[in-house]
Structure 1
Amino acid sequence: MSNDWWRTATIYQIYPRSFQDTNADGVGDLNGVRYRLDYLVWLGIDAIWLSPFYPSPMHDFGYDVANYCDVDPLFGSLDDFDALVSAAHAKSLKIIIDFVPNHTSNEHPWFLASSSGRDNPLRDWYLWRDAQPDGGPPNNWFSHFGGSAWSWDERTQQYYLHSFLPEQPDLNWRNPQVRAAMYDVLRFWLRRGVDGFRVDVISHIVKDAAFRDNPANPNFAGEGPDIARLAQTYSSDQPEVHDVIAEIRRVVDEFPDRVLIGEIYLPIERLVAYYGKELGGVHLPFNFQLLDARWDAATIANIIEMYEAALPPGAWPNWVLSNHDRPRIAARVGAAQARLATMLLLTLHGTPTLYYGDEIGIGHVDIALERAQDPWGMREPDLGVGRDPSRTPMQWDASAFAGFSTREPWLPLTPDFATRNVATMREDDMCILRLTSKLLHYRHAHSALGIGSQRLLHASDHVLAYERLQGADQILVALNFCHDTRSFSLPNGLSGAVALSTHSGRSGERVPAKLELRGDEGIVIKIG
């Protein structure tokens, strides 16, 4: 077994705009992350993943990058970033940052040059194409944020491709000069001490060379965002992307002990290809199967078995429950089952990624129309695709603005922030925050949960149970996915005591052969 740190780490995603404001502008910043490092140590986190903080016009809140090698003044400075890395490393915390290679801002100097004329040396750094004979766009591709993926440039009389907003033109990754420039970006941050990258929409960066029309999506039911109308056959997941990713990996491997993570929304059988030939791709292709899964024991068990069976030899699994683009887990399954979901995430085989605020059970936050910020939600307002509810500020205490800021935050807080906050919940031994911290520290203390094997034991009558095993360290996890009491019989020969429960009053309890689980209860049993 490799001793790569990311195999046993728990990654904690921070959306910097929403974590901690230290300069009273209602928006979080890098100094705010540094200010809260002790909390992350207390919680039991190993690595911090920061969503973009680069200079940007903020049409897509930093995913429209205008300069890959600096910090937007909204978030601080390069000195602030260096101070954060130094402070994090002093506390044995790793720093992972977002790398956004598919597109830049339309205000990036590269695009300003590319769009200045067809004869500009950087013209081929982006994807320009002539109009159809009728003047229409080159093909039928949709933007992920609604409407055509092509915008007309009047000055040069061609269309340019933007898989997201028109202000986010796609780079041409078939151009070796683009690749070389982007690899220098990676080295810039690696030299500053970052411990790895989460690569945004990595499966999109290479498009079909012939720009063929995408076929209709046979599963589209007639309602939903534009992007769902077509199968992304030619606009994403092209065979050549794996050669490019192998190059990216070689750059990252120039520096020891770094990790490469890929954002990839694909079925399991296509997802696992991103580990690469001879595992020379991304170390962790994000496994998002739980984000859309039906929340029941049989479905989750099936996902676990399919995923584990599909992993190439030597590949390391990973699990995600929430992120900045999808509804939070508590919004999807409710407060009681969110506790169960936390236990699932932090005991499964593989590296877990925990989204900020999930540890205090933030759920859906209603965003009034006048407070809406997300460009996708505003471009397709009737579809409920807005991502603002998943990006609301972290809630630290019961003071005005929840200790996040001294002024009105950029997005609203939860209505119950006076009780749903870190300071209050740290005093409640049975709340989801304390449960999360206990699970994380228990995970650190037991190699079975860090690197141990996994065996599915039971998946019926709403109960999912599995075993984690590493040498003499043996742990059993049992989860009740319904609101009523359910029972589960331990396999012959196994006995132990309850180490952790999502409910009160069970710690240390010896487990009988037939275990009774209360509604919404999950337990961790130390066998022996």
Structure 2
Amino acid sequence: MKNTWYKDSIVYGVDIKLFQDSNDNGYGDIRGLMSRMDYIIDLGINTLWLQPFYPSPLRDFGYDISDFLGIDPRLGNMDDFLNLIKLCDENRIRVIIDLVINHTSVDHPWFIQAKSDKDSPYRNYYIWRDEEPENEEKKVMFEGVEDSVWEYVAETSSFYLHSYYKEQADLNIASLQVREEVFKVIKFWLNLGVSGFRIDAAHALTDTVSNDQTTKNNLNEFLDEIRKYTENINPDAILLAEADVDPKDIQDYFGKGDRMHMLFNFFSNQYNFLAMARNSGEALVKGLELTKHVQCKHYLNFVRHHDELNINQLDSDEQKDVLEKFAPDEKMRIYGHGGIKRQLVPMMENDIKKIKLMYVSIFGLPGSPLIHFGEEIGMGEDLNRKLRSAVRIPMQWSDQMHGGFSKAPIDKLNHKPLSNGDYSYSYVNVEKQVDDPASLLSFMKSLIKKRKSCTEIGHGTWDTLSLENDKLLAIVYQVEESKLLVICNFSSKKEKGKLGSIMENDDLVDLLSDSEYKKPSKSIEVNGYGYRWIKVVNQEKII
């Protein structure tokens, strides 16, 4: 039987360190996550994406790993992890974890030995130069933070490559020994019961600039090897990749359906914000059309995740419009203005119509949806914090001490709660919203439930539909004889679209909408920032 469970997934991203502290050491932990499982189940989640929980100096929120086969003792132990997997299995929740194979921490034993001895068996695990290259082509990922991708080590008078922070040394994926280490990591965690991996920084993994030991083709072939190795251990496991690349390069990550199962959809993400900035559904249609040529694809769509909002796939005019609308102040921008360190609700100025539309549109796009923890209650950012720390705020459970995240003294918290302003835990928290039918949390629960019932979105063929109105986005899905029409209005005003005779013999029934509407005939009406998901009954072929 073909593995397709991920097409029905509702993914919930969790940074364990920021979710729930069970022992008051200032760090969220695995037992804390388990204590909140009823909340996750009630939300309607069926897939957890766990961000790094491995031993780490935490220079980059745990993505600087010093042991790929361990649990950070501040977050728990291996028994805790196994108990978490068991609890998730009992509640039919899949668990995928981060597979960070582009780099290690400079505190990893491999690197410590490699930097100390040119003859070390671990030397070739990394990429070295005896002299710093003068004309480096590889782009600095963290512009304004790092000024080079090369860092000098005195022990061997040489330079190592780091695509990200200097504390994260790039692995040499051309090395067969490194690949064997990657396979060991995959086997270890699959045998413990995870259902797959998110491959972090896959776009950097296959970037051969600065590495004269390999070619892009054999790096792409390594993705084939990862897929085969994973499926040999667990045919049901999936691979999700972070690959923020040009449209022409996306096919490399899906291959012929023999590489990644899913990719994060950076295009739908960025063009969704452009659509809202320009009040134009046509803008989001452009984002969809840019990747429509890709074969064997399935995307994970998201509004926000654990990082900044990256807008580098937009052209300069598009970036300008998004920045002026959603990040007008310089302190809202990071990494050379290619990123926005804000959360959705503040960006939408707490306008609930806009907020709902952003989530309905993402849930209605081809693929599967992601919610990052805290989004469902509308958590905000702290612009006084540096870089990505601005959007990495502990979960706000209540209006009690530290938002119910921890009872540790404030100076022991690994990240401080948001205690001031309109989005502090005093005003924005789970307890305040959980029993309020008008809350964002209640809306998100109902949206998740509705999305689960609309299997056409995850499994169907699709096409955009012209309604002769550029304010509207319209997508029609089909699975066998079942059809679904998704329409979103990115204008503040009520808009009409022309259906013409294309569905005149069909019965159109609203499944999800911002208000009650008359049944459409040759035209369809949608309120300002409104939406309609419509079941098409007695269909004619319209795709």
Query: Paired residue for 1:253, among 231, 247, 266?
Result: 231
Q: Which sits farther off after the overlay, 88-97 or 147-156?
A: 147-156
Output one character per residue of 1:156-180: Cα deviation in whole Å (capped at 9) or x when no partner.
Answer: 1111111112211111111101110
TM-score normalised to the size of structure 2? 0.82
Output one character per residue of 1:85-137: Cα deviation in whole Å (capped at 9) or x when no partner.
Answer: 110111000000001101111111111111121111211111111115xxx76
**Residues 480 and 522, structure 1, Cα contact 8 Å, conserved in 2:** yes
**2:304 corresponds to:** 322
**2:294 corresponds to:** 311
- Is 1:297 matched up with 2:284? no
> Deviation at 1:66?
0.5
**1:74 corresponds to:** 74
> Deviation at 1:478?
1.7
**2:417 corresponds to:** 412
Mapping of residues 184-263 of structure 1, within 5 Å: 184-208=184-208, 211=211, 238-254=216-232, 255-263=234-242
Q: Distance in 1 between matches of 2:116 and 2:24?
A: 39
Query: Paired residue for 2:266, among 288, 294, 301?
Result: 288
From the superposition, tell whether residues 210 and 304 of structure 1 become closer, same or farther in structure 2 (CA, over 3 Å). closer
Query: Paired residue for 2:440, among 432, 443, 461?
Result: 432
**2:317 corresponds to:** none
From the superposition, tell whether residues 241 and 141 of structure 1 become closer, same or farther in structure 2 (CA, over 3 Å). same
- SS of 1:434's equivalent in the other structure is helix
Mapping of residues 383-402 of structure 1, within 5 Å: 386-402=387-403
Q: Distance in 2 between matches of 1:471 and 1:281?
A: 27
> Deviation at 1:298?
0.4
* Structure 2 gap segments, 5+ residues each: 310-342, 538-543
**2:510 corresponds to:** 498
**Residues 203 and 241, structure 1, Cα contact 8 Å, conserved in 2:** no
From the superposition, tell whether residues 209 and 486 of structure 1 become closer, same or farther in structure 2 (CA, over 3 Å). closer
* Structure 1 gap segments, 5+ residues each: 213-233, 378-385
- Is 1:342 matched up with 2:354? no
Q: Distance in 2 between matches of 1:458 and 1:402?
A: 46
From the superposition, tell whether residues 319 and 3 of structure 1 become closer, same or farther in structure 2 (CA, over 3 Å). same
From the superposition, tell whether residues 445 and 208 of structure 1 become closer, same or farther in structure 2 (CA, over 3 Å). closer
> Deviation at 1:403?
2.1
From the superposition, tell whether residues 39 and 480 of structure 1 become closer, same or farther in structure 2 (CA, over 3 Å). same
Output one character per residue of 1:475-496: Cα deviation in whole Å (capped at 9) or x when no partner.
Answer: 2222111222222344542443
Q: Distance in 2 between matches of 1:412 and 1:206?
A: 37
Q: Which sits farther off after the overlay, 68-77 or 458-467?
A: 458-467
**2:369 corresponds to:** 352
From the superposition, tell whether residues 179 and 247 of structure 1 become closer, same or farther in structure 2 (CA, over 3 Å). same
- Is 1:273 matched up with 2:247? no
Output one character per residue of 1:220-278: Cα deviation in whole Å (capped at 9) or x when no partner.
Answer: xxxxxxxxxxxxxx99x9333201111111111111200001110102221222102x3
**1:53 corresponds to:** 53
Query: Paired residue for 1:467, among 476, 492, 498?
Result: 476
**1:144 corresponds to:** 141
From the superposition, tell whether residues 85 and 461 of structure 1 become closer, same or farther in structure 2 (CA, over 3 Å). same
**Residues 96 and 198, structure 1, Cα contact 8 Å, conserved in 2:** yes
**Residues 496 and 510, structure 1, Cα contact 8 Å, conserved in 2:** no
> Deviation at 1:50?
0.7
Query: Paired residue for 1:486, among 486, 490, 495?
Result: 495
TM-score normalised to the size of structure 1? 0.85
From the superposition, tell whether residues 209 and 240 of structure 1 become closer, same or farther in structure 2 (CA, over 3 Å). farther
Q: Distance in 2 between matches of 1:208 and 1:527?
A: 48
Q: Distance in 2 between matches of 1:333 and 1:141?
A: 35
From the superposition, tell whether residues 203 and 430 of structure 1 become closer, same or farther in structure 2 (CA, over 3 Å). same
Q: Distance in 2 between matches of 1:20 and 1:477?
A: 37
The one-letter code sitting in structure 1 at the alignment partner of 2:202 is: I
RMSD: 2.5
Aligned positions, number: 480
From the superposition, tell whether residues 483 and 249 of structure 1 become closer, same or farther in structure 2 (CA, over 3 Å). same
**1:124 corresponds to:** 124
- SS of 1:65's equivalent in the other structure is coil
From the superposition, tell whether residues 210 and 164 of structure 1 become closer, same or farther in structure 2 (CA, over 3 Å). closer
Q: Which sits farther off after the overlay, 352-361 or 511-520?
A: 511-520
Output one character per residue of 1:194-226: Cα deviation in whole Å (capped at 9) or x when no partner.
Answer: 0000011112225537648xxxxxxxxxxxxxx
- SS of 2:48's equivalent in the other structure is strand
> Deviation at 1:140?
5.5
- SS of 1:24's equivalent in the other structure is coil
**Residues 263 and 298, structure 2, Cα contact 8 Å, conserved in 1:** no
The one-letter code sitting in structure 1 at the alignment partner of 2:264 is: F
Q: Distance in 1 between matches of 2:59 and 2:113?
A: 20
From the superposition, tell whether residues 36 and 113 of structure 1 become closer, same or farther in structure 2 (CA, over 3 Å). same
From the superposition, tell whether residues 140 and 452 of structure 1 become closer, same or farther in structure 2 (CA, over 3 Å). closer
